[in-house]
Amino acid sequence: MTDGNGNGNGANGTGREVIGTRRGMFGVTGSGDTSGYGRLVREVSLPGSSPRPYGGYFDDVVDAMITALGEDAYTAAVERVVVFRDELTLEVRREHLVSVAQTLRDDPALRFELCLGVSGVHYPTDAGRELHAVYPLMSITHNRRIRVEVAVPDADPHIPSLFRVYPTTDWHERETYDFFGILFDGHPALTRIEMPDDWVGHPQRKDYPLGGIPVTYHGAEIPPPDERRAYN
């Protein structure tokens, strides 16, 4: 981890933070990994923090954020800055998410008017930061794109809703809640949007069991994954 100025363990996101090891394609145990990748062993890593200069317009965005928020408020709000695969990500503490989003939307030097959605990610071995919510933002005024990311613990999966700042996040927050179990506080109707209301669990989490549920497709019943042929 690093400070909000991006001083840390990787130039331009090339450093890595290893948070675990995955075995098999999905890393799920006890449910019959029928993917054919039972012997696959991979490190689970996140890109490291990036030092200045970030490159392109990324420095201008961060400078405008510091000017708009004030240096102390910026340091309190932004955990680190990551430049990875030509994308700028501001990792923001959840208690500052709404104020950061309002600044990104309203400040004339920033003007990120559009939030393109909310994506959830589950890292079971990222202790205390198991659930991540990622917000891709676009500035129509300046023709720029960045990402904002918030990490919360599995034991306390609460993130403030951005519905009041970006109404387009309405259904996206519902979908992220449905699939990952992240609770967006202040959302006007945080209910499931894909799965039935009485569904148990959140199917895109890494600890969600594979198999056990048959699927009917075009009149044929497909057996659950743990009853199909395995290739291990």
- The per-residue pLDDT for range 54-104, each reduced to its tens digit, is 999 999 999 999 999 999 999 999 999 999 999 999 999 999 999 999 999
CATH class of 11-227: alpha beta
Residue bearing tokens 């609770």: 183
Angle at 161 between CA 98 and CA 177, to 5 degrees: 145
Domain range summary for the chain, segments of one domain joined by +: 11-227
Task: Kindly report the pTM of this predicted structure.
Answer: 0.81
Taking the C-alpha atoms of 150, 154, 188 and 115 in order, what is their torsion angle to the nearest 10 degrees?
20
* Least confident interval from 34-43, 144-153, 215-224: 34-43
Which one-letter DSSP state was computed for residue 225? Answer: G
The conformation of residue 48, written as its DSSP 8-state character, comes to: P
- Find the helix or strand (DSSP H, E) in which 25 lies: none
